[in-house]
Amino acid sequence: MLPASGECHLWLTPTRPPRDWRRLLTREEAARADALPEGPPRDTYTASRAAQHRLAGHYLGVPPARIPIDRTCRHCGAGHGRPRWATETSLDYSVAHTAHWILVAVVTEGLVGVDMEELPGSPPSPRLEAKSLTARERALLADTSPADRPRAFLRLWTRKEAATKLTGHGLATPFADLDTTGPALAHSRSRVPLHLRDLPLPVPRQLASLATTHPATRLTTTRLDGLSGASGAPRP
């Protein structure tokens, strides 16, 4: 079932993929995976690409490996752009990962960006705060207790990452120009409203945020290993 209007589907899966997920990769993806060092780099890449193919099968009703993933940047034409399924569909999705988890957000209306980070044990450096936060965000952080400061900073960071992943600009956008203290991104060059939402996740020490061009009023979170079969159909 596709996401309804105003709904965002969130899918979680570990970065260590099941052994049979490799068969979901295209020949080019498998070659790229083999070129990566064994362990976390290869596992994360394989799990991320396989998850995107599985969800293509789930939503589009086709064998997962049949839909290629296009990462052409709409700003410069290089291959580092936001991912999309290379077929005619109203669906849009975004992918994030930490050391242990991969998160995919899927919407039917408009565009989506998602970011997930693992909670650090220490507060950010003053230099990083100055480089990445607006004056309003720094004031907000200054009013936060030292114990809560790492979480508060990371929350702002995930909102910025989600917004720039939606637009496809990534870290090329100066984070200090993006104010995320409200429910929508405040940026002088923003041409469309970007709605921000913090995401509750059923896994420890992971913080995530969502950016959408249409407000996400309903969230559903599902473990991706709840799908089975060649087309990624839900288990009965």
Measured in Å, how far apart are the chain's first and last C-alpha atoms?
14
Contacts 24+ apart (CB under 8 A), 170-176: 170/80, 175/131, 175/132, 175/133, 176/130, 176/131, 176/132, 176/133, 176/134
Q: What's the predicted TM-score (pTM) here?
A: 0.92
Residue 38: what residue type?
Answer: E
- Residue 33 CB contacts under 8 Å (≥ 6 apart), including other chains: 22, 25, 42, 45, 46, 49
- Alpha carbon distance 209, 200 (integer Å): 9
- Residue 137 CB contacts under 8 Å (≥ 6 apart), including other chains: 156, 179, 180, 181
Buried b (16+ CB within 10 A) or exposed e, 24-35: bbeeebeeebee
DSSP class of 189: T
Give, in degrees to the nearest 5, the angle at Cα 218 between 193 and 91. 65
Rounded to whole angstroms, what are the CA distances from 186 to 26, 50, 131, 163, 173? 39, 35, 17, 11, 13
Q: What is the pLDDT of residue 230?
A: 43
Rounded mean pLDDT for each run of 10 residues along the chain, 236 residues in total = 96 94 94 96 97 95 86 70 88 97 97 96 89 96 92 96 87 86 82 90 96 96 77 41
Q: What is the pLDDT of residue 59?
A: 95
- Alpha carbon distance 45, 40 (integer Å): 8
- Alpha carbon distance 14, 167 (integer Å): 26
Q: What is the pLDDT of residue 16?
A: 94
DSSP class of 115: E
Q: Is 50 helix (H, G, I), strand (E, B) or coil?
A: helix
What CATH architecture does domain 1-110+214-236 belong to?
Alpha-Beta Complex (3.90)
Q: What is the pLDDT of residue 173?
A: 81
- Alpha carbon distance 68, 168 (integer Å): 19
Place of tokens 């950016």: 211
